[in-house]
A and B are shown apart, each in its own frame.
Chain A
């Protein structure tokens, strides 16, 4: 986009052209940092639900003074003449706005109103609208994709419900199954998916952007949700198991189980279904349980996760840990991500992935701090080979 910004700078300054952006992104606020970094200040509209229904980005569209789309522009450097050329008036029929939408598009408009045009997003209303529409037409990819977007939005909010992220991924996968040519939908899964399936790291520019903005004496735009794990990781061609595996921390299961529980785990597999030889990325988030008054105890050992992969599945490391923050106690979500690859001859069906997390927690009422274990179980679906 900075290329378009640069080649049109004079036209914009002379009042001959208006630049406008539409962002097709789960977290549009990240674009605010991008715009600040690239010193671009044209208006941006956000479209995380893909109301526009485009299946590719980026797109550059020339729109005339009547609001009529005149051309899809491809080469920024040769487009300047087109941007300023005298255009014939559009035919009168072209200036009449469309008055009817197909049903799925109309539903998306109502969902968008409930979510984006309110100070407080009405997640429940948005999901109810989508569920009602999907009940009538379960094969509409637009609706499955949007349901995934809404659920991930709720997951990133204080209104989070257990299973929101996994359900979001399922929605995106269902949408993509219905229309595998939809690259905007595909990117949403890749954002959280395994490095084997990634075309590039999605948000590796964020750190550099912040450094450059600070070097200019400015404060970088704060992000609502920091990119983590898969969103920052670059692609790889192979998942190699570590040459030496670390020692299992509790092989005999002697650490007491967190039966209260003072903390709970949420596991999401992306994508939810793999074919033989393909990889999945597993996201495990552990959070203190507010109902039982649990807090992380940060004066002990770091949270450790140990994974037992299914037989013959490859994973790079089986022991993962999360560094502890400096405060004595805290309540944040603690996340680990790892990838595992199915054997090339994996039979179709569900495969069980097990493991456990070890962590220090304190009870708010008594101040008692404990070291506890939570067992982890997830299923990965294996689809038949193509």
Chain B
């Protein structure tokens, strides 16, 4: 069964609980991401070719950003 294309219930439950209960010990589950604020300026590597890239490369376009893992 492939679960990677669904929000896994356990993770989603954890996420929703954290979001609605508020962050523990002052730490947000969203980390450096904050709604209403610019997306953090991170220099990351592109999976396709290892070249440096950032979300700023898509400025001017509306973006759906999916943060995930293949497990």
Task: Give the interface of A toward B (CB within 8 A).
Answer: 1-4, 8, 16-25, 28-35, 38, 43-47, 50-74, 83-84, 90, 94-98, 105, 109, 112-113, 116-117, 119, 179, 181-184, 187, 191, 199-200, 202-203, 205, 208
Contact = CB atoms under 8 A, between A and B. Distances in A.
Contacts of B40: 51-52, 98
A28 B45 CA distance: 10
A20 B55 contact: yes
Contacts of B31: 50, 52-55
A43 B56 CA distance: 13
B26 to A, nearest CB: 10
Contact of B64 (A60, A179, A181): A60
Given A56-B15, A72-B35, A34 B67 contact: no
Contact of A60 (B29, B41, B58, B65): B65
A263 to B, nearest CB: 32
Interface in B30-58: 30-48, 50, 52-56, 58
A300 to B, nearest CB: 37
Contacts of A69: 33-39
Nearest to A2: B5
A61 B67 contact: yes
Interface string B1-20: 01111111011001110110
Contacts of A18: 58, 61-64
Main secondary structure of the interface of B (DSSP, over half): loop
Nearest to B30: A54
Contacts, number: 234
B42 A191 contact: no
B28 to A, nearest CB: 8
A202 B61 CA distance: 33
B6 A3 contact: yes
Cβ-closest 8 pairs across A and B: A53-B31, A202-B71, A2-B5, A44-B47, A45-B44, A58-B68, A34-B70, A59-B67
B62 A4 contact: no
Given A20-B58, A69-B35, A54 B69 contact: no
23 contacts: A1-B4, A2-B4, A21-B68, A23-B47, A23-B70, A24-B69, A34-B70, A44-B48, A45-B47, A56-B11, A56-B29, A57-B68, A59-B66, A62-B62, A63-B64, A69-B37, A73-B64, A74-B16, A83-B62, A94-B37, A98-B37, A98-B38, A199-B8
Contact of B46 (A43, A50, A73, A182): A43
B6 to A, nearest CB: 7
Contacts of A35: 47
A44 B58 CA distance: 12
B69 A187 contact: yes
Given A25-B71, A45-B47, A19 B64 contact: yes
Contacts of B18: 55-56, 181
